[in-house]
Each structure stands twice: as C-alpha cells, then as structure tokens.
Amino acid sequence: MWHKKRASSLVALGIAVLLISENAISSHVTYSLEYSTAKKPAFENTEINAQLFRGGVPAGYFKIKPNSRNEFTVPNDSGSNIAIAAFSVKGQDKLHLACSGNAFPGKQKIVMECIPK
C-alpha cells in the first residue's frame, strides 16, 4: 500500500519539476527588430529607447540593445500581456529621421518605421 502512495507522490513530484523547469526556461521573451523602410540607422551597436507595458499598464522605460541577429530579450513575468513601444533609434537625428515601432501583446517582432523629419 505504501508503495502505491510513494509511486504516486514521485509521479506528482516529477510533474511539478517539469512544470517548474518549463517556467524557468520561458522566464524571458526574445523579440526581433526589423525596419520597414530602406533609409535607416544601423541596429548594430545602437540603442533604442522604449517603454514596456504589462497588461496595458506602463511598466517603465528601458533601452533596447539588439544583438548581432537584431534580437533582444525582456523578462517574461507577465506572459503574453507584454507590449513594447519603441520611440527612437540612436543615430536617427544624423539621418534626419524619426523612427518608432510597436510590439503588441502576443507579438514578438517590432517593425521600426522611419520617416523624414
């Protein structure tokens, strides 16, 4: 009898460990960046000023520093309710451009649009 209880508790423990490890793996979300226009400042070695929203509530400003694949990560403490508003790219003033883009909840790509000033 105690073997059955022990086996069922081990199975429950295994499921709990699996769920915890899945949550640990998905603790960050990776977003990609791209431009919708040809004239643009390079993403390489740049900073993008952005604002983070969690569940539609502003959660602070931060700087995006994309990697060599034009990707960046943010903490995933709100699941799919994260939205990002990117509102300037370092170097856009030299090209006389205004750049901005958004990632809406559930979307993990920001398409930056740059227009002449």
Q: Which residue has the tokens 């990776």?
A: 30
Average pLDDT rounded to a whole number, residues 32-38: 82
Instruction: Specify the range with the lowest mean pLDDT, choosing from 25-34, 47-56, 99-108.
Output: 25-34
Residue 31 per-residue DSSP state: E
Beta bridge partners of 48: 64, 89
Average pLDDT rounded to a whole number, residues 40-54: 87
Q: What is the pTM of this model?
A: 0.69
Whether the predicted pLDDT of 40 surpasses 50: yes
CATH architecture of 28-116: Sandwich (2.60)
Helix, strand, or coil here: 117?
coil
